[in-house]
Amino acid sequence: MTGMSRRAALSSLGAAGAAVSVPGLLTACSGSSDGGDTANAGKELAPWPAYRPAPGAKPDLRPTDQGVQPGYTSYPADLTSSVARTPGDGSTVRVMSVTFGTPPKEAAQNRFWQAIEKALGVKVEFTIVPQTDYQQKMATVMAGDPDSLPDIINVFTGFVLPREAEFVQRRAQDLTPFLSGRAVGDYPNLAGIPTHAWRDMGRIGGRIYGVPLERPVTGSTLWLNQGQFTDAGMAEGWTSDDFAAVAKRGTHGTTYALGASADSLFGNAVHSAAHNSPQNWAVDKDGTFHAGYTDERFKASVAFQAQLRKDGYYHPDATSLSTPDLETLFYNGTVGSMQNGFGAYQHLYADAEGLMSPAPALPYSVGGTPGGHVAARRSFGYTVLKKAEKERIEMLLRLLDYLAAPFGTKEWELTHFGLEGVHFTRGKDGSPQPAKLGEVENNTNLPVKYLAEAPQVLFLPGRPDAVRALHAWQQKVVPVTIRDASYGLQSRTNTRRGTTLRASMDDTITAVIAGRASLSDYDAAVRRWRSGGGDKMAEEYAEEYAALT
């Protein structure tokens, strides 16, 4: 009970704190010559782009202010158009983004790629980086020659990139004059990106450098093989003991109840949230920052997972599987569950067709306290532009504006499903159904959706029941989401040492769960983490937090 109320207090504080940043009231008090400072504290803060919802289709399942998404059980019959003219100028644009899928066919043989180029009015040279190589690839690109940077770079926030804020500040175009306040009105679809996404992306040195990719508040989710887990005795209102019992019954022979991918710490996010641990950082009433690592509930979640691992419920390759490989094991029933982003629903249901039925898990309770769920950063990543002349920047922003066209427009349909009759056909209800070619030529393989996208909605073509189930699930889970209080805040120590500090903790946590290290090794690692920069980060975040609220 106390855990619950504390968590609730923390998350509401976090939300309130972030919602009332008053732009323009703070003026710079430090000299403007310190161009190297990425902190926002003590800087003049550029106002966030003025939010103006882009007109789209009306949902039949209502969104909530807390973060339940608008749901569409059917596809809008009349598509509107949100971009009046071709945004590009015929030039070549070099683009780089992460992907979670396999690489696409080359442009010359890829009709989706060609259709995107035609619609945007530019030639797109795409450097596509698989998720597993992303950190290394970005590190070398960032350290490389500034002239050879791509024009448009997606900075994916799922990793702590070394010196990310410094890189963006030194090498990317300052977009404040183009997007801050009313200026964003020139790009109506970018104006339709809600303030919470900009806020969680955050400013750097008080300025706006990127365009965020908005995401629902429901973050890392435990996806279940519904049949397998129901057969093993899963029921709503389950406890951590029930979870372990279900995992036991769901494991036999070469079938494992629990799957996990490399670098997910055996799916720790789901378990630490169920234990109501702070997700990375929590802030208390007097503005002090507390690290999740130092929280007993976090440690308890690690111990719980170590027991599950020891009892043999995890797939043996849980520390080395890539996400696509894990998904394959999930579909073929080798693993009964896996942690993945909530957004994975967009392909899970279709890919699992005829094999199994996926479902998001409700968090289990621990010691009588209802479990929490991870609150995602409302900005999944953000897009920065290479420094250029004003006209070029405006053109690039028009491209992003096109890609951010909302659900229910022709532009959205093109960027999400490709060409009718080529990549998709219309189902009975008018919704696009991927055709053969659409399965290999799409926005997973050619990830234009990671350059800019409209606020996401709940929609699955031809699967109204799944949409209703997800919407109902969100209503239960959104109120218990636990937000990382550091979202949108800058810490100099985090940008300098965050990557290696995090990697060292990740290694230790993985070792403890894998049974290679003990909980006292964990305590020692936390002490090293604190003295190596963790405590300093807490101070810096508190300073930022105080300045922004």
Partner 1 sequence: MMPGLAYFLVFQYGALVGNVIAVKEYVPFDGLWNSPWVGPDNFQRMFEDAAFWDSVLNTLLISVLQLVFFFPVPLALALLLHSLTWSTVRRFVQSVAYLPHFLSWVIVVALFQQVLGDTGMLNSYLGDIGLHTVDIIGNPDAFKPLVVAQVIWKDAGWGTIIFLAALSLVDEQLYEAAAIDGAGPWRRFWHVTLPAIRPVIILLLIMRLGEILSVGFEQMLLQRDAVGPEAAEVIDTFVYFQGIVGGDYGYAAAAGLFKGVVGAVLVYAANKVAHRLGEQGVYK
- Gap between the Cα atoms of 488 and 43, Å rounded: 15
Q: Which is nearer to partner 1, 315 or 398 (CB)?
A: 315
CB of 520 to partner 1, least distance (A): 14
| Shortest distance in whole angstroms from residue 292 CB to partner 1 | 21
In this structure, is the dihedral angle defined by the CA atoms of residues 478, 481, 485 and 490, taken in order, positive or negative?
negative
Please list, residue by residue across 149-162, b when 16 or more beta carbons sit within 10 angstroms of its beta carbon and e when fewer do: bbbbbbbbbbbbbb
CA distances from 543 to 327, 483, 540, 547 (A): 41, 18, 5, 6
Nearest distance in Å: CB 34, partner 1 = 13
Cβ-based nearer residue to partner 1, 288 or 320: 320
Distance, in Å, from the CA atom of 93 to the CA atom of 124, rounded to the nearest integer, reads: 5
Helices and strands: H and E segment counts in the chain: 20, 16
CB 438 within 8 A of CB 226: no
Under DSSP, the state recorded for 286 is T
Task: Output the smallest distance, CB 322 to partner 1, in A.
Answer: 11
Q: Which amino acid is at 389?
A: E
CA distance 73 to 77: 12
For 432, phi then psi, to 5°, come to: -70, 130
Closer to partner 1 by Cβ: residue 319 or 443: 319
Binding stretches for partner 1 (CB under 8 A): 36, 135-136, 139-140, 142-144, 146, 161-163, 166-167, 170-171, 254, 262, 316, 319-320, 496-497, 499-500, 503-504, 507, 510-511, 514, 516-517, 528
**What span, in angstroms and rounded, lies between the C-alpha atoms of 487 and 201?**
7
CB of residue 517 to partner 1, shortest distance in Å:
7
Least spacing, CB of residue 78 vs partner 1, in Å? 49
Of 127 and 475, nearer to partner 1 (C-beta) is 127
According to DSSP, the β-strands at 432-434 and 424-426 are antiparallel
Longest dimension (CA), the chain: 66
Task: Name the residue nearer to partner 1 (CB basis): 64 or 320.
Answer: 320
Q: Which residue, 220 or 319, has its beta carbon nearer to partner 1? A: 319
- C-beta closer to partner 1: residue 221 or 323: 323
**CB of residue 508 vs partner 1: minimum separation in angstroms?**
9
Residue with smaller CB distance to partner 1, 170 or 476: 170
Q: How far is the CB of 526 from partner 1 (least distance, A)?
A: 13
